[in-house]
Amino acid sequence: MKIAVMGTGAMGGYVGARLAEAGADVTFIARGPHLAAIQQNGLKVTSPQGDLHINPAKATGDPGAVGPMDLVFLGVKLYDVETAVRDLMPMVGPETGIVSLQNGVETPAIISEIAGAEHSVPGVALINGEIAAPGVIQHNAMNGMTLGEPDGQDSPRMRRFGELAQKAALDIKISPDILLELWRKFLMLTPAAGLSILTRVPMGRIRETSASWRLIGEALAEVIAVAQAEGIEMGDGDFQATSSFIRDTMPDTWRGSLVEDLEAGRRLEVEWLHGTICRLGEKHGIDTPFHRTVLGALMPHANGRN
C-alpha cells in the first residue's frame, strides 16, 4: 500500500514508521530540521513496543512531488487541518482515503468539504509520544488506532489496510461505527483536559477534591447531550464507562497536553475542543457552561505567546 504521512510529528511519525515496518510504501511529509534529519539519517523510533529505524526513509517537504496515495494520514494539529488538506490534494487520486488522526470531531467534515466526502476516513489514535530530537520519535504509551468508512461499509481500501494491519506492531481496528468511536475519544479527552487546565494540578489531586471532581460529571453530560443532538448514539453507558476510566485508570500524575502547551507558550487547540461543544450546543439550544468557561478562560492564550 502507498501511504503518506502529512505532518510527521510524534503521532503521525510513529504510525507511519510502524506501517513502513509492516511493509507499506510510506512517504513522510515534514519540514525544517526534522525533515533534514529524516532525509539524512532515516526515522528512528524508541518504543516499549520495540525500537525501529526506517532507513532510508522517503521524506519530502513538498506534497506535490509525491503522486497519488492509497491513504494519507493527517497528523497535523487541529488549527492546521484546513491548510494541510489543501496542501495534500496533489496526493489524492480517485480512491485515496484521507485519514484524520486529530483529537476533535470536526476534521472529517473539513476533509469532506475540501476534498470530497468520498475521501474522508475518520480515525481515532490512542498513542502518546513526542519528538525527542530531529528525526527521532519517542513513543511512550498506548498503541491503538481505529479507523473506518463514515457509512460503516466495507471498502477495498479498508480491506487492504486491514491486511496490512495484521503485520503491524500497532493495535489497529476497522470500525463499522467510526463516528461513535470518534465521539467516545472526544468524551474521554475534552472534559478531563478542560478540568486539568482549569485546576493546573495532576488528576490525583482532582479526584481527591470533591468540588473539582463533581465538574467531571457535568462536563461529560454536556458532551453527551451535544453528541445525541448530532445524531450520535451515546448514553448512560458511555457516561459510566468514561467516568470510571478517568476515576480508576488515568494515572494520578496525568496532566492534559493543553496544560503543557499553555505553559510552553504554544498555540492551543481549545477552539476545536471545548469550542466545538460550545458551537454545537448553541446550534441545538443546549447550555454548555463547563466548556464555555474553559473556552473563555483560554481564548486570550489561544495563539500562544508569539
CB of 50 within 8 A of CB of 26? no
What is the pLDDT at residue 256?
Answer: 87
What is the pLDDT at residue 141?
Answer: 85
Per the listing, cell 458551537 goes with: 279
Q: What is the largest CA-CA distance in the chain?
A: 55
For residue 289, which phi and psi values (nearest 5 degrees)? -65, -35
What is the pLDDT at residue 257?
Answer: 87
CB of 282 within 8 A of CB of 293? no
User: With respect to CATH, is domain 180-301 assigned 1.10.1040.10?
Assistant: yes
For residue 256, which phi and psi values (nearest 5 degrees)? -65, 150
What is the pLDDT at residue 289?
Answer: 98
Question: Would the CATH topology of 2-176 be identical to that of 180-301?
Answer: no
How far apart CA 6 and CA 298 sit, in angstroms, is 28
What is the pLDDT at residue 97?
Answer: 98
Sign of CA dihedral 71, 77, 79, 80: negative
Burial of 80 (0-12, 13-18, 19+ CB in 10 A): middle
Burial of 2 (0-12, 13-18, 19+ CB in 10 A): middle
| DSSP 8-state code for residue 231 | T
What is the pLDDT at residue 111?
Answer: 97
Find the helix packing angle between 210-229 and 178-199, rounded to 10°.
Answer: 150
What is the pLDDT at residue 195?
Answer: 95
User: With respect to CATH, is domain 2-176 assigned 3.40.50.720?
Assistant: yes
How far apart CA 273 and CA 277 sit, in angstroms, is 7
CB of 58 within 8 A of CB of 51? no
CB of 171 within 8 A of CB of 88? no
Q: What is the pTM of this model?
A: 0.92
What is the pLDDT at residue 67?
Answer: 95
Residues belonging to the chain: 306
What is the pLDDT at residue 209?
Answer: 96
SS3 294: helix
How far apart CA 210 and CA 231 sit, in angstroms, is 33
Per-position pLDDT tens, the chain of length 306: 999 999 999 999 999 999 999 999 999 999 999 999 999 999 999 999 999 999 999 999 999 999 999 999 999 999 999 999 999 999 999 999 999 999 999 999 999 999 999 999 999 999 988 999 999 999 998 899 999 999 999 999 999 999 999 999 999 999 999 999 999 999 999 999 999 999 999 999 999 999 999 999 999 999 999 999 999 999 999 999 999 999 999 989 998 889 989 999 999 999 999 999 999 999 999 999 999 999 999 999 999 987
Break the chain into its structural domains and give their ranges: 2-176, 180-301
What is the pLDDT at residue 277?
Answer: 98
What is the pLDDT at residue 9?
Answer: 93
Sign of CA dihedral 166, 59, 10, 43: positive
Among 14, 155, 119, 49, smallest CA distance to 163 is for 155
What is the pLDDT at residue 128?
Answer: 87
CB of 248 within 8 A of CB of 199? no
Sign of CA dihedral 256, 262, 268, 271: positive
The Cβ of residue 169 has, within 10 Å, a number of other Cβ atoms equal to 15
Q: First-to-last CA distance in the chain? A: 40
